[in-house]
Amino acid sequence: MKAYGWAVWIIFAWIFISIIGQFLPVDINQVHLPVILNGPDWSNWFGYDDLGRPVFGRLLAGSLTSCIVSFTVVGISVVIGTTLGTLSAYQGGMTDLVIVRLIDIFLAFPGILLAIALAGILGPGIDNVVIALSVVGWVGFARLARAQTLSLKHREHVVAAQALGTKKRKIIFQHLIPLISAPLLIEATFGIASVIIAEAGLSFLGLGVQAPDASWGSMIRDGARYMLVAPHLVIVPGLALMIVVLSINLLGDRLRDIMDVKTNNNGAHN
């Protein structure tokens, strides 16, 4: 099986485990003092943390956190960014100028630093993480949607719809956005991977999910203090984070190859 085939299965497993894992009879906050910092064994393959809690259960809870945050943030970013970018390119004039300047302002700041600043202002918590990452995340989709719309707004079917007196809103949502959905889907795929990393980073800094809730980032932060005596506290969530993000990026690369018309045409001629 090719690499992207494994990537698809891993992503499906990640989503499935995130949902089903919450119904398993595992108490992620139950403390077992005799097994504090115990490593993996046959009864618990991922060992226990510094409070004697099962790493497996907290790994499942962290998986759900990353899943919820990533899909929520990307969904909000896609809606806002696509709407603003398409409207900017199609409307032109002062509307385009204002939106482009707004995009430039957001691009003047490194995205993760802006997210850290917003999360620090809003305070810790999963809701505030979603807000902070959504404020940062829409910019890339707006730029892409605007660029694609500029190349499509003079197509014959769009001009014909204008000549027939079709409303601008209908032209945007029925004639333009469906044509730019492919590159937006690819961008969204990479966006999910970026948000997973960003959420883990914010939680690692103490600005994301708060105890007793679990996040892969907070698990790595808590386990770093015991790296020499209990390396599994960092290795397990670190590997999970790496495998999921790598799989999503591989899927994004595969989607980009499939939807690249020029590449497919060249391959057909070879």
Alpha carbon distance, N-terminus to C-terminus of the chain: 24
pLDDT band at 76 (very low <50, low <70, confident <90, very high): very high
Locus of tokens 């999970």:
240
Query: What CA–CA distance (Å, rounded) separates 177 from 117?
Result: 32
Domain assignments of the chain as residue spans, ordered by start: 54-260
Q: What are 54's strand-pairing partners?
A: 48
CATH entry 3.40.640.10 includes domain 54-260: no
226-262 pLDDT, tens digit each: 888 889 999 999 999 999 999 999 998 888 888 774 4
At 261 the pLDDT is: 46
pLDDT band at 2 (very low <50, low <70, confident <90, very high): low
Chain-centre distance for alpha carbon 156: 36
Model-level pTM? 0.88
Q: What is the mean pLDDT of the chain?
A: 86
Comparing 28 with 12, which gets the higher pLDDT?
12
Structure tokens at 172: 């945007």
pLDDT band at 170 (very low <50, low <70, confident <90, very high): confident
At 51 the pLDDT is: 85
At 3 the pLDDT is: 64
pLDDT value at 21 more than 60: yes
At 7 the pLDDT is: 85
pLDDT band at 267 (very low <50, low <70, confident <90, very high): very low
Kindly report the length of the chain.
Answer: 270
